[in-house]
Structure 1
Amino acid sequence: MSTRFPRWLLALMLAAPSLAAADYQPPTSRDDGWAVVDARAAHWDMASLAAMEAKLADGSVKGISSVVVAQHGKLVYEGYFNGGDASRLNDVRSASKSVTALLVGAAIDRGLIPSVQALVYDFFPDKRPLQHADTRKQAITLEDLLTMSSLWECNDDNEFSSGNEERMYVTEDWLQFALDLPIKGFAPWMAKPKDSPYGRAFSYCTAGAFVAGAVVERATHRGLAAFAADVLEKPLGITTVQWNQSPLGIGMGGGGTRYRSRDLAKLGELALDGGRWQGRQVISAAWIKQMLTAHAQARDDADYGYLWWCFRFPVHGSDQVTWAMSGNGGNYVFVMPSQQLVAVITSTAFNQRNAHQQSQAIFRDYVLKALP
C-alpha cells in the first residue's frame, strides 16, 4: 500500500501550523505593568496552543474561564472562555490560602510577627477559656497552620471531622470554632508526625488557614484586606480585588478572594522572582524561599510548603518542580522555576469531581507541550 499522502491532505497538514499561528492573538498590552510578547517570536508551539483552544471549545472540558501564561516575566498567552474576560474577578477559592502565606511573610518582614515559631494561642488571649483545653494546643505554632500539620482534629476531606470547614461556616465565631477544636487522635492506620515525611502529618484544614489570617490581623492591627492592599496588591499594581470576611468581620484568609486573571499571574511572578515585581522587592527573598520549600507531604504525588502545593510535571521528558496556588473548581496559579514559567487557569467547575484533573491536564498536555 502506498505511503504517499494525497496532495490535499499534505497541503492541509502543512497549513495547520500556519493556521494556528494566524488564529493566535498576542496578549493585549495594558497599563497594568505586564510586558507582553508574541509567542510566535518566542518560538512557542502554536499548534499546541491551538489544540488547547479546540479542546476548550469542544465541550469536553467544563468551566475553564481563562488561561494566562507568562515566561521570563512577559505574558505570552491570554485566552478567555465560557464567559470569562480580562476584567472578571475570579473566585479562586482556596488558592487564596497562598496569598495568606504571602501576607504572613510580609508581617514577619516588618517585625510584626517574630517568626513562624510564634505560638498561635498567644495572639488570642480574649478567646479564653477554651473548649478541649490541652497543653499541646498551647504549643501549636504559626508554622503548624501554614503546613496543614497542627494537632487540631481538622480535616476538610472528612465529613465527620470536628474541624471540617462546612461545620465552621454555620457558626458565627469562626475563630472560636477553630481555637476550641480538640486534639486529634491517630488511628492505627494513620501515620503519626514522627513517622511522616518531614516530621509532619498533613491534614487539609481551611480553619487553620483562616486562623493564620487572623494572626496577621492581630499582629498588624489591621484588617486582612487593608494590609494586603498596602503590602502586596498596590505594589503589584492590583487595583481591583474582593476579600471575604467571617460573620464577625475577620478577613477570610482561607478562601474566596477574587482576582483578575492577569493579577493572579502577578502573584505567581512574585513567587517566581524571589518576591520581586519589576525589580522592586515586595516580599523578602528569604520568605519566598522558606514558603516554597517542602515542609510536609500532602499526598503521594504532592508536597506542601507554606500554603502552597508542590507538584512535578514533565517537560521534554523530565519531571520539573512546580509550585501552585490551588482552589476548588480547578483554579490554579502554576509556577515552574526551571522554565521561568507562570500559568494561570481559572475555572468555575466548583465541587466537580474532575475539576482539578482537567485543569492540570490543560497545563500538562497543552501549555507545557507548547514550551519553546
Structure 2
Amino acid sequence: MREVGRKFRHLGFAAVVALATSGASAQPREFSTGQRNLACGSPASIGDGWPTATPESVGLDGPRLCGIAARLVATNANVHAVVIVRRGKLVFEQYFPGYDEPWGLGGGRRDFDATTKHDMRSVSKSVISLLVGIAIDRDLIKNADEPVVKFFPDYSAVKSPGWDNITLRHLLTMSSGIQWDENRAWKDPANDEPHLGSDDDPFRYVLSKPIATPPDTMWNYNGGGTELLGNILERVSGKSLDEFAREALFAPLGISDWEWMKYRNEHIASAAGLRLRPRDAAKIGQLVLNKGARAGRQIVSAKWVEQSITPRFQAIGYFGGLFYYGQQWWMGRTLTGDKDVKWIAAVGLGGQRIFIVPELDLVVVTTSGLYSSPRQGQAALDILANFIIPSVRDNNAR
C-alpha cells in the first residue's frame, strides 16, 4: 500500500504491545491561539465543531493526564498527538514534534498541532467498514452476505475457483480464505501487498488469488479484501471513493480537511490512504460510541455499528497479543488496577489508534511515527492503561 516498502508496511503490528521507541524524543509543545498559550492538554478552539471542557467537568483527573507528556519523554516514544474526548466533549489534546513519514513526502522530523493532518494508515479500513454500512443503509448493497463476485462481472474470467462462496462479510472480517501474505519483507516477491499499489489492475490481482481455506474458518490479515470493498463502494454509488466518503460520512461529521491518498497506479488506497486531523479521527470514534448517530442524525445504522464491533475471530500477532476482530475493527481489554476495561479500536501502522471505551464514555486518539518499529503501539496502550483510564473519577460513566 505504499510507494516505499518500509514506509508503508502494514504488518508491523506484530509486536505492538512492546514499548514504542524512536531516535526522536517527544517534547510537549504549546499551541498558540494568538491570545494565550494552552499547556498541559487544554483544547484549542479552532472552529471544528467540538465542544470543549475541562477534564474535571467530565469526571477526569486533570493532573493525572498532565503526566502523559513526561511519560512520553521518559520512554522516548515518538508520539505526535494525544486527543481525549469524554461525554462528547473534547477535554485534552497535546502535540509533539517527532520523526514522521507522511505519504509521498519522505521521512524527517516534523511539527504537529491541532490543524495538522496525519497518515492514519490502516485506520482507513475501519472507515471503509462504516462506508459499507452506509451503502447498505441506502440499499446500494442488499446486505453484507452478498457474494463478492456479483459486483465484479467484468472479472468473471479471471476469478479463481471458490470465489463464488466469498461474501462481503468475509472480506470485512478478514476470513475470506484468500491465499494472502503481507507478513514479509516489502521486496519479497511473495509479499502480496505491494501489488495493490504497483499493479495496473490490483482488483484483477486480488480476484485471481487462489482460495487457500474455506471462508469463515480462519482469520488472516488482508488489505486486498479492503481494496475490493473500496472499489465496490465506487461501483454501487457511481462516485469515486473519496467523493462518496465526503458526502456520506465526512461532511455529516463536520470533517472538511482530509485526504484519501492514491497509489502510484492512481487507484485510491482504500486500505491505508486516509489522512485526518487527530481531532477529526476522534469524531469517527465518537460516531461509533454513539452507535452511528451525531447531533440527532443517524449517519450509519446502529445495527451496522453493533455488527462491526462484535468479536468474530481471535486475532493473534498484530497487536503482539490476543485480541479480537470484527468487521474491520479490533476489540481488546485493558487491566488497570481493579478495572478490567473493554475497548474497541481502529488500528494503523506506526501507532495510529482510535480507542473507544463505551463503559467509560471515552474516545482516545493517538498518532505516531514508528512505522518500522516492532514496539510501535505500546505508548498508546501505556497511556490508556496508566493515565487515561485511571483518571476516571466517577463510577457511572454511561
TM over 0.5: yes
**Would you say 1:182 and 2:197 are equivalent positions?**
no
2:355 maps to which residue?
A: 334
Counterparts of 1:62 and 1:291, CA distance in 2: 31
CA pair 171-28 structure 1, distance change in 2 beyond 3 A: same
Counterparts of 2:39 and 2:125, CA distance in 1: 36
**Would you say 1:221 and 2:247 are equivalent positions?**
no
Counterparts of 2:43 and 2:148, CA distance in 1: 44
Q: Supply the AA of the counterpart residue of 2:58.
A: A
**Would you say 1:236 and 2:253 are equivalent positions?**
yes
Query: 2:67 pairs with 33, 37, 51, which one?
Result: 51
1:157 maps to which residue?
A: 183
Alignment deviations for residues 158-200 of structure 1 (CA, whole Å, 9 cap, x no partner): 4579563124333221111111111125xxxxxx87xxxxx53
CA pair 175-241 structure 1, distance change in 2 beyond 3 A: same
**Would you say 1:110 and 2:138 are equivalent positions?**
yes
- TM-score, normalised on structure 1? 0.85
Query: 1:99 pairs with 123, 127, 132, which one?
Result: 127
1:181 is paired with a residue of what secondary structure? coil
Alignment deviations for residues 236-267 of structure 1 (CA, whole Å, 9 cap, x no partner): 11001100234554432201210001100000
**Would you say 1:28 and 2:44 are equivalent positions?**
yes
Q: Unaligned regions of 5+ residues in structure 2, if any?
A: 1-37, 98-110, 394-398
Q: Supply the AA of the counterpart residue of 1:320.
A: V
Q: Supply the AA of the counterpart residue of 1:166.
A: P
1:127 maps to which residue?
A: 155
Counterparts of 1:25 and 1:94, CA distance in 2: 26
State the structure with bigger RCO (CA 8 A, min sep 6), 1 or 2. Answer: 2
**Would you say 1:209 and 2:230 are equivalent positions?**
no
Deviates more, 1:322-331 or 1:241-250: 241-250
More helix per residue: 1 or 2? 1
Counterparts of 2:191 and 2:129, CA distance in 1: 21
Q: Pairwise mapping of residues 241-320 of structure 1 onto structure 2 (< 5 A)?
A: 241-299=258-316, 301-320=322-341
CA pair 126-86 structure 1, distance change in 2 beyond 3 A: same
1:79 is paired with a residue of what secondary structure? strand
1:69 maps to which residue?
A: 84
2:122 is paired with a residue of what secondary structure? helix
Query: 1:142 pairs with 160, 164, 168, which one?
Result: 168
CA pair 25-78 structure 1, distance change in 2 beyond 3 A: closer
Q: Answer yes or no: is the 8 Å Cα contact 2:198–2:264 preserved in 1.
A: no
CA pair 163-109 structure 1, distance change in 2 beyond 3 A: farther
Aligned residues: 337
1:35 is paired with a residue of what secondary structure? coil
CA pair 25-348 structure 1, distance change in 2 beyond 3 A: closer
- TM-score, normalised on structure 2? 0.80
Q: Supply the AA of the counterpart residue of 2:92.
A: Y
Counterparts of 1:61 and 1:242, CA distance in 2: 29
Q: Answer yes or no: is the 8 Å Cα contact 1:172–1:248 preserved in 2.
A: yes
Q: % of aligned pairs identical?
A: 33
Deviation at 1:45, TM superposition (A): 2.3
1:352 is paired with a residue of what secondary structure? coil
2:93 maps to which residue?
A: 78
2:17 maps to which residue?
A: none
2:56 is paired with a residue of what secondary structure? coil
Deviation at 1:121, TM superposition (A): 1.2
Counterparts of 1:116 and 1:322, CA distance in 2: 24
Counterparts of 2:40 and 2:57, CA distance in 1: 12
Query: 1:89 pairs with 107, 110, 117, which one?
Result: 117
Q: Answer yes or no: is the 8 Å Cα contact 2:336–2:389 preserved in 1.
A: yes
Q: Answer yes or no: is the 8 Å Cα contact 1:163–1:205 preserved in 2.
A: no
Alignment deviations for residues 190-241 of structure 1 (CA, whole Å, 9 cap, x no partner): xx87xxxxx5311001111111111111111111100000010000110011
Q: Once superposed, what is the RMSD of the aligned Cα atoms?
A: 2.0
Q: Unaligned regions of 5+ residues in structure 1, if any?
A: 1-21, 186-191, 194-198
1:4 maps to which residue?
A: none
Deviation at 1:26, TM superposition (A): 2.3
1:19 maps to which residue?
A: none
Counterparts of 1:162 and 1:143, CA distance in 2: 26
Deviation at 1:343, TM superposition (A): 0.2
Deviation at 1:152, TM superposition (A): 0.6
CA pair 213-23 structure 1, distance change in 2 beyond 3 A: closer
Q: Answer yes or no: is the 8 Å Cα contact 1:200–1:295 preserved in 2.
A: no
Deviation at 1:292, TM superposition (A): 1.1
Counterparts of 1:173 and 1:283, CA distance in 2: 31
Counterparts of 1:175 and 1:144, CA distance in 2: 16
Counterparts of 1:336 and 1:161, CA distance in 2: 40
